[in-house]
Amino acid sequence: GLDTVPVLVRQATDREMLELALVENIQRSDLTPLETAEAYRQLSEDFQLSHEEIAARVGKSRVSVTNTLRLLKLPEPVLSALANNQITEGHARALLALNTAQAQAAALQTILQHNLTVRQTEELVHKLSGERPLSPPPIEPAPEIKELEERLRQSLGTKVTLRRGRKGGTMIIHYYSDEELNSLIRQITGENGLE
């Protein structure tokens, strides 16, 4: 055994000791998401700590602290399902996107009845909330861009796509065979392409 053990002795008020004990408890790996959320809530309300301050004390990001705290806003049936391991934290977070407790509870029933994955739950929530799919629909190019694409198509003899960005853009010249690629290279550079 050791003859001496390095220790750090700190003077702390009862309040500071309670805060330190709470932070140590949060850092345990065996806490459930709801236990963690409740501990964050206690640090926020009892010790008037901001989400940023809580994050610094427990070694998490502010976003992680905020998202975990949001779990406490879910209705009782969802909290109960999460506490009883009927759903995961991922399921619960997905349900937060629904605006009403009734919608969240109804979605929970669907999750439980059909044993949905988190990804399937996210898709269900998107459908129920009337949100558009995750990828936005393509934007129709401006008329002047379409005109330039047509002029380039006629000049090069193949489809050309122009995409504008904030700082420039992309021009895609389509080809459908090595022979066509060689022809395009000769037109643009005056040199032979692939041999």
Q: pLDDT tens, 14-60?
A: 677 767 777 777 776 678 899 999 989 988 998 898 999 988 888 88
Q: Which CATH number fits domain 14-71: 2.60.120.890, 3.40.190.10, 1.10.3720.10, 1.10.10.2830?
A: 1.10.10.2830
Q: What's residue 113's pLDDT?
A: 95
Segment 93-129, tens digit of pLDDT: 999 999 999 999 999 999 999 999 999 999 999 999 8
Q: What's residue 10's pLDDT?
A: 72
Q: What's residue 13's pLDDT?
A: 76
Q: Domain ranges in the chain? A: 14-71, 74-128, 143-189
Confidence of residue 195 (pLDDT cuts 50, 70, 90): low
Counting other chains too, the contacts that 126-132 makes at CB distance below 8 Å and 24 or more residues apart are 126/97, 128/98, 128/103, 129/97, 129/98, 129/99, 129/103
Segment 72-98, tens digit of pLDDT: 999 999 999 999 999 999 999 999 999
Confidence of residue 133 (pLDDT cuts 50, 70, 90): low
Cβ pair 68, 26 in contact under 8 A: no
CA distance 47 to 14: 12
Confidence of residue 3 (pLDDT cuts 50, 70, 90): confident
Q: What's residue 121's pLDDT?
A: 96
